[in-house]
A and B are shown apart, each in its own frame.
Chain A
Amino acid sequence: MTNPKQAQMYFKLFACCVTVKGAVRSTICDVQRGEIKLIPNSLYTILTEHQHQTYSEIQEAYDYDETLDEYFDFLVENELGFWTDTPEFFPPLDMTWQTYSNINNAIIDIDAASSHDFKAIFAQLEELGCDHIQLRYYTDVSKDTLENHLESTKRSRFKSIELVVKHGSLLDIPAAEALVVSNARIHKLVLHGAPESGIRPVMKPGTDFSLGQMILLSYEITSADHCGVIDPFYFSIDTKTMTESHQFNTCLNKKIGIDAQGEIKNCPSLTESFGNIAQVSLHQAMLQKDFKKLWEVNKNQVEICKDCEFRHICTDCRAFIQNPENEYSKPSKCNYDPYTASWANS
């Protein structure tokens, strides 16, 4: 290091760049810019165990190893951290996660046999303070029927609606797009069984203002068994997931599900039902003893995941797990092995 002043300085990662240690390598999760950087565990050690030492102290501890400068240059060049003479001014990110609502998000499944009273369900969800809803249609449905189901959401407090709908004779791509345009709350529409796969932004007609996103899938989604896939594509590198994952389950916390038969569950893919929506209110269901039992199962407790460098940006599926007898076993639809740092081909 050429700057003599720097010798007495401390290196700090920006608080939004959070280090997560894995079995054989680590990540720096940049929750501000939504990026991750893979780093060797030796650098993790420098950034954690040696964070209270000055540059020269670290150099001394490492016998003036040249790699140190390479590491620090890499971190500074990528704007992940900085040198400071006042490290006490820069506290780490507080990992507290809080919410105002009893239920934050809901999944409602619908197939040809479903007979949900959508207006009543949405009213109950609003009552619980729910912000985000996802509706998954496994069988053909027309734009008119969808609009009808969603009618009461137009003047609701929901912040976002995600639709998973089937492409077919009742609903083609332009109709699906028109649906996103017609309801400001729909921010994402997944069209399964589409002629091709791809992602398309949906713009407000005649403008370049984005209203949401349409995701086309060439395969069909026929039931709740399709859920639970773990893939880097679904990683959420943000403050919410980062903080929530330290204490809570990143998928099931504050979630409620209604399956295609109307059974109220934590999520539609789980087996345990807490009553049918035809007889029991959502509020009554969630007051039952075991309704929240998975809410606090977090990645620091789950086998294998607890050694994974992606655990604070990854979803934690509890419906599909390697050993159904063990509540803490790894999600079965994950192909990653943190001990070899490799993804198996599925």
Chain B
Amino acid sequence: MIVIATRKIDSSTNDIIDWIDGKGGTVVRVDEDNTLQRLHIVSGKGANNSFIQVNQQKIYFKDIVAFWHRKGQSFFADHPAYSLQLDTNHVDISEELAQEWAIVKEYLFFLLSQKRNLGNYFKSSLNKLIVQHQAQAIGLTIPQAFVLTAKEDALNLDLEVITKALSEVAIISFDDATYCSYTTEVTQDFIQTLPENFFPALMQEKIVKKYELRVFYLDGKCYSMAIFSQLDQQTAVDFRVYNMTKPNRTVPYQLPQDLEEKIDKLMHELQLNTGSLDFMVTQDNEFYFLEVNPVGQFGMVSLPCNYYLEKKIADYLLNNQPENHA
């Protein structure tokens, strides 16, 4: 049995379940809003009897062959008994219970991590700055980056920079408008408007790119796609600002072998067997590594490149030997 923890609406999950079904595998899908109805965990003798119950179904750990933490908050997040007890007005008690529960939850994920795994729950969000540091140590080229708080320092930068969120892209609503933390250029004029001291902000060397790369990494292999966002001024700075009528050209890409090896090394170091990596390629064919997303959207790479990543992921979870396709 393959357990997939995901969100209710996720077409990639559906596609992979189709492939697993088609190959005769059994999938138990647990969406993030499903309630953990019952826990029965035995350590030591009788561990075979350990199960969790979700959607009226008992899932015995001994029957699970693979676990994929695809997306979402874990289904263990809102155990009913646990949320009930948190209603208490005693802050200390709530905190204590939260800590108790965190230990149990971590143990559950530890047990699941003993199975065949795709993704790593314990690494589902990464620190961009640390990853960049590790990437450089491995020999990948990274853009020069600064974390600054003083206007003076920002004015003294002798290169063009962009700024972007260090954490996930935020969508913020206020004053009846919605703001999204897209990557933007930082101009001297803009810096002039800043106060003497500001909140720590990332300023990253602006790379003039020929095209971008999105690399989906799965179990030692890279499936890469080039994105020609430069053709279109509307998306030149950030590819997420889509142009609907004339979508960016997205084509299969063959990375140089040494770069694939470095990516493999980095992913091992990060203890990730899957993820999607972003690069920029300059006019001089320099590859700048930007970031790794541990829960990458592979659908946007799979379809345009005809990679059948959904099938490859299903095969991985089913432990099938990869087929050589001509």
Binding site for B on A (CB under 8 A): 14-16, 32-33, 79, 82, 85-86, 88-96, 98-101, 129, 239, 243
Contacts and interface: CB of A to CB of B under 8 A. Distances in A.
A102 to B, nearest CB: 8
B249 A79 contact: yes
Nearest to B232: A79
A79 B306 contact: no
B325 A96 contact: yes
Which 4 residue pairs spanning A and B have beta carbons closest together? A100-B22, A15-B251, A100-B19, A14-B249
29 contacts: A14-B251, A15-B252, A16-B249, A16-B304, A32-B247, A32-B250, A33-B247, A79-B231, A85-B285, A86-B285, A89-B226, A89-B253, A89-B256, A90-B252, A90-B254, A91-B252, A91-B254, A93-B252, A94-B306, A94-B325, A95-B306, A98-B308, A99-B22, A100-B19, A100-B21, A100-B314, A101-B22, A129-B21, A129-B22
B255 interface: yes
B311 interface: yes
Contacts of B231: 79
| Majority-rule SS of B interface residues | mixed
A201 to B, nearest CB: 16
A96 B307 CA distance: 9
Contacts of A88: 254
A313 to B, nearest CB: 16
A257 B250 CA distance: 37
Interface in B207-255: 226, 228, 231, 246-247, 249-255
Nearest to B213: A89
Nearest to A101: B22
B105 to A, nearest CB: 32
B93 interface: no
A239 B306 CA distance: 8
A92 B251 CA distance: 9
A101 B20 CA distance: 10
B311 A100 contact: yes
Which of B249, B254, B256, B326: most chain A CB closer than 10 A? B249
Contacts, number: 70
Interface string B1-29: 00000000000000000110111000000
A93 B256 CA distance: 18
A214 to B, nearest CB: 23
B285 A93 contact: no
A90 B251 contact: yes
Contacts of A95: 306
A93 B311 contact: no
Nearest to A30: B249
A14 B228 contact: yes
A18 B244 CA distance: 22
A96 B22 contact: no
A271 B306 CA distance: 35
B303 interface: yes
A32 B252 CA distance: 12
Contacts of A14: 228, 249, 251
A85 B307 CA distance: 25
A98 B23 CA distance: 13
Contacts of B303: 239
B270 interface: no
B254 A89 contact: yes
Which of A14, A95, A101: most chain B CB closer than 10 A? A14
A170 to B, nearest CB: 36
Nearest to B224: A89
B186 interface: no
Contacts of B21: 100, 129
Interface string B278-315: 00000001000000000000000001111110010010
Given A82-B228, A85-B285, A93 B305 contact: yes
A96 B304 CA distance: 13
Nearest to B245: A33
Contacts of B19: 100
Given A14-B228, A86-B285, A100 B251 contact: no
B246 A96 contact: no
A94 B246 contact: no
B307 to A, nearest CB: 7
A90 B22 contact: no
Nearest to B308: A98
B284 to A, nearest CB: 10
A91 B18 CA distance: 28
A91 B250 CA distance: 12
A217 to B, nearest CB: 29
Which of A16, A33, A95, A129: most chain B CB closer than 10 A? A16
A16 B19 CA distance: 25
Nearest to A79: B231
A46 B258 CA distance: 32
Contacts of B306: 93-96, 239, 243
B37 to A, nearest CB: 22
A89 B253 CA distance: 6
A85 B22 CA distance: 43
Which of A15, A92, A101, A129: most chain B CB closer than 10 A? A15
B18 A101 contact: yes
Contacts of B228: 14, 82
Which of A33, A89, A95: most chain B CB closer than 10 A? A89
Nearest to B22: A100
Contacts of B253: 89-91
Contacts of A92: 252
Contacts of A91: 252-254
Given A79-B246, A94-B306, A129 B18 contact: yes
A88 B224 CA distance: 13
Contacts of B226: 89-90
A93 B126 CA distance: 33
Contact of B304 (A32, A82, A100): A32
Nearest to B249: A14
B59 to A, nearest CB: 21
